[in-house]
Structure 1
Amino acid sequence: MEPRKKDPLSSRALLDRIGLGDPQTAPLLLDDDPLDSPLDTLAQALVERYQSLEARHTFRPGDLVTWKPGLRNRRYPRDGKPAVVLEVLAAPLLDSDTETGSTYYREPLDLVLGLFLNEGEHRGDFLSWHFDGRRFQPWSQGGRARSGAPL
């Protein structure tokens, strides 16, 4: 015996079944405020990231720092991990990447940071790199800032 096919349900019949088929009720469905554009949220996020990038901290050699949320643009240090300030350059070096499409093109590098690698053949080695200091904030563990603390 072949199963019986049900008649397809029209949108009007569906609205009737759920109690919204009355023409006087239908306009109420359209009275909602329009949804915010996803571009509004994107624009707000862009402004917040810009403001975070422009909020400067004054660092000194020996300070522990970490990436500001959402501003990490390099592999190291890892998110939430500290690095120690080795030097603050008076005049930033401009990244020498010659590709204008690179995120590093002419990036102002004004901090020299040191950190331990936790992986690969250089695991445990203390290495230093140059970074854009605008992307960093004081490192904190458990909510309190650490400055000038020994490693």
Structure 2
Amino acid sequence: MPRDNDRLSARDWLTRIGFDEEGSNDLLLTDEPLDDLTGDPAMALRERFAHWQRRHRFAPGDLVVWKPGFMNKRYPRAKQPAVVLEVLEQPVFDNERDAGSPYFREPLDLVLGLFVDDGPHRGDFLNWYYDSRRFQPWQPD
């Protein structure tokens, strides 16, 4: 069991097992230390559920970021703001066919725009569809 000063961020952990940012899927890459999972899982689940239930009303032009622990796509990066382009009255559903996928029937009701920071589209302003329950208003540090 690692001591508190031995805790690794997800980025450090993935680097140690042979994954780095070059060409890897970095859904879990954050600089936040991973929480100790030996505590009360029921309490942690209730906390996460409370965050999931906390809805925000977004409007075009708002800046948003992922809620901590709810990032399920590569972009925007953790803590990277994105601009709300559209809030859909009727969500579209991800057409992932595998019920074991985290994207299965995910209601996509938020269209976000952001600048891509790597790859062949570096610097391009692109938009994607997201589940608004995973986002919160952006607050500058």
TM over 0.5: yes
1:66-105 aligned within 5 A = 66-105=65-104
Shift of 1:40: 6.1
Greater than 6 Å deviation, 4+ residue runs:
none
Helix, strand or coil at the partner of 1:50:
helix
Q: Is the CA contact 1:95–1:107 (under 8 Å) kept in the aligned structure 2? A: yes
Structure 2, gaps ≥5 residues long: 1-36
| 1:118 paired residue number | 117
Shift of 1:62: 0.3
Deviations 1:92-144 (A, max 9, x none): 111110111000000010000000000011000000000000000000112xx
Deviations 1:27-71 (A, max 9, x none): xxxxxxxxxxx7761111111111101100000000000000111
Deviations 1:3-41 (A, max 9, x none): xxxxxxxxxxxxxxxxxxxxxxxxxxxxxxxxxxx7761
Percent identical pairs in the alignment equals 58
Q: Say how many residue pairs are matched.
A: 105
| 2:128 paired residue number | 129
Helix, strand or coil at the partner of 1:140:
coil
Shift of 1:91: 0.7
Q: Is the CA contact 1:65–1:84 (under 8 Å) kept in the aligned structure 2? A: yes
Q: TM-score, normalised by structure 1?
A: 0.67
Helix, strand or coil at the partner of 1:134:
helix
> RMSD of the TM alignment (CA)?
1.2
Structure 1, gaps ≥5 residues long: 1-37, 143-151
Q: Is the CA contact 1:53–1:134 (under 8 Å) kept in the aligned structure 2? A: yes
Q: TM-score, normalised by structure 2?
A: 0.72
1:22-33 aligned within 5 A = none
